[in-house]
Structure 1
Amino acid sequence: MRLCDLREKEVINTCNCRRLGCVVDLIVDMNKGCVQAIVVPGPGRFGGLFGHDSEFIIPFECICKVGPDIILVDICEEKFLHQCV
């Protein structure tokens, strides 16, 4: 599967059934050639009008299922929410 295919999929947290957004980037281990995590934009400032100042970095182990339209993850959102630099 390619990154452009993942960007079309919505990420849903199964803990609270909340939509997190779509995948914007991947973190890849170049030595092993495997995906370590997916990156999803965090909550936007002022309802998303002024961009995002944080992002969810979701480890590959937390992905439950990749379907045709969505990616199901099982995370505690506060733990995986990081501020953008």
Structure 2
Amino acid sequence: MRLSELSGKEIVDVARAERLGVLGQTDLEINEKGQITALIIPSLKWFGLKRQGHEIKVPWEHIKKIGSDMVIIDIVETQYEE
């Protein structure tokens, strides 16, 4: 799958039934082999205009399904960083 195919998909946490963001507005953590190891999702407020100060790091293995419109993830509370 190409990065351009991921862009624009909504990221949804299945455990919390919560929309976390959109791919393309996230950062990617990439290892020395060029593989994506994690998604880093910024927390935004005020309709995305002001950064709240913390982010969510989602290891690649916590991505459960990549569909045509969204990415389903399953993460634990300890991954919500401040």
TM-score calculated relative to the size of structure 1? 0.76
Shift of 1:45: 4.2
Give the letter for the 1:79 counterpart.
T
- Structure with the largest fraction of strand: 2
Maintained 8 Å contact 1:41/1:54: yes
Give the letter for the 1:14 counterpart.
V
Distance 1:17 1:81 in 2: 15
Match of 2:79 in 1: 80
Give the letter for the 1:41 counterpart.
P
Shift of 1:48: 4.1
Query: For the aligned residues, what is the CA RMSD?
Result: 1.9
Distance 2:4 2:53 in 1: 23
Structure 2: unaligned runs, 5 residues or longer: none
Maintained 8 Å contact 1:45/1:53: no
Maintained 8 Å contact 2:9/2:22: yes
Distance 1:49 1:35 in 2: 27
- Structure with the largest fraction of helix: 1
TM-score calculated relative to the size of structure 2? 0.79
Q: How many residues matched? A: 80
Maintained 8 Å contact 2:14/2:73: yes
Matched residues, percent identical? 34
Structure 1: unaligned runs, 5 residues or longer: none
